[in-house]
Amino acid sequence: MIQAPEHIKSIKQYIPGKPIEELERELGITGSVKLASNENPLGPSPLALKAIRKALQGINRYPDGTCYYLKNALSQRLNVNPDEILFGNGSNEIIELAVRTFLGPADEAIMAHPSFAVYSMIVQAGGGKNIVVPLKDWRHDLGVMTSCMTEKTKIIFIANPNNPTGTINTRAEMDAFMKRVPQDVLVIVDEAYYEYVTSPEYPESMRYFREGRDILILRTFSKIYGLAGLRIGYGIGRADLITDMNRVRQPFNVNSIAQQAALAALSDEKHIVKAKKINEKGKAYIYKGLKAMKLNYIPTEANFIYIVLENGNAFELYEKLLNQGVIVRPMGAQALRVTIGLPRENKRFIETLKQIQNVK
Residues 210-256 have pLDDT tens digits of 999 999 999 999 999 999 999 999 999 999 999 999 999 999 999 99
Contact status, residue 215 vs residue 182, Cβ threshold 8 Å: no
Nearest to 204 by CA among 234, 166, 236: 236
The span from the CA of 114 to the CA of 304, in Å, is 15
Q: Is 94 helix (H, G, I), strand (E, B) or coil?
A: helix
**Which stretches within the chain are classed as H helix?**
6-9, 20-27, 46-55, 68-78, 91-102, 118-125, 142-147, 171-180, 205-210, 239-248, 256-266, 269-292, 314-323, 343-357
Angle subtended at Cα 345 by Cα 197 and Cα 40, rounded to the nearest 5 degrees: 40
Residues 41-57 have pLDDT tens digits of 999 999 999 999 999 99
Average pLDDT over residues 86-103: 97
Angle subtended at Cα 193 by Cα 108 and Cα 354, rounded to the nearest 5 degrees: 110
Q: Spell out the domains of the chain, with CATH numbers in brackets.
A: 6-43+270-357 (3.90.1150.10), 46-266 (3.40.640.10)
pLDDT at 360 over 70: no
Report the pLDDT value the prediction gives residue 25, as an integer from 0 to 100. Answer: 79
The span from the CA of 264 to the CA of 260, in Å, is 6
pLDDT at 10 over 90: no
The span from the CA of 345 to the CA of 145, in Å, is 38
Contact status, residue 75 vs residue 82, Cβ threshold 8 Å: yes
Residues 6+ apart with CB under 8 A from 129: 106, 107, 108, 109, 123, 152
Phi, psi of 87 (to 5 degrees): -100, 150
Contact status, residue 157 vs residue 119, Cβ threshold 8 Å: yes
Torsion of CA 310, 293, 276, 230, to 10 degrees: 60
Report the pLDDT value the prediction gives residue 235, as an integer from 0 to 100. Answer: 98
How high does pLDDT run on average in the chain?
95
Average pLDDT over residues 53-67: 96
Report the pLDDT value the prediction gives residue 17, as an integer from 0 to 100. Answer: 66
Beta bridge partners of 186: 155
Please state the pTM of the whole predicted model: 0.95
Average pLDDT over residues 181-199: 97
The span from the CA of 94 to the CA of 89, in Å, is 8
The span from the CA of 186 to the CA of 175, in Å, is 15
Residues 291-350 have pLDDT tens digits of 999 999 999 999 999 999 988 799 999 999 999 999 999 999 999 999 999 999 999 999
Residues 6+ apart with CB under 8 A from 121: 11, 12, 14
Residues 6+ apart with CB under 8 A from 87: 67, 70, 71, 232, 233, 234, 253, 254, 259
